Amino acid sequence: MEPHLGRDGVGLKFEELLVVTDDGDAYWLDDDVPHMRRWNAAA
């Protein structure tokens, strides 16, 4: 996934890798990324 955020001429993008195995399991390659730590701390 490659989320994009932008407003008023300023933007950013970041990448997260979703791993899907042959047996159908899926998981984020790295589930401890800075933007998610920030959102979780605010919750």
Model confidence pTM above 0.85: no
Provide the domain count of the chain: 1
N- to C-terminal Cα separation, the chain: 23
* Residue 18 domain boundaries: 4-42
For the stretch 1-43, pLDDT in tens is: 566 788 898 887 777 788 999 999 998 888 787 777 888 888 7
Q: What distance in Å separates the CA atoms of residue 8 and residue 19, rounded to the nearest whole number? A: 34
What is the phi-psi region of residue 37: left when phi exceeds 0, alpha when psi lies from -120 to 50, beta otherwise? alpha
Give me the phi and psi of 27, to 5 degrees please.
Answer: -155, 155
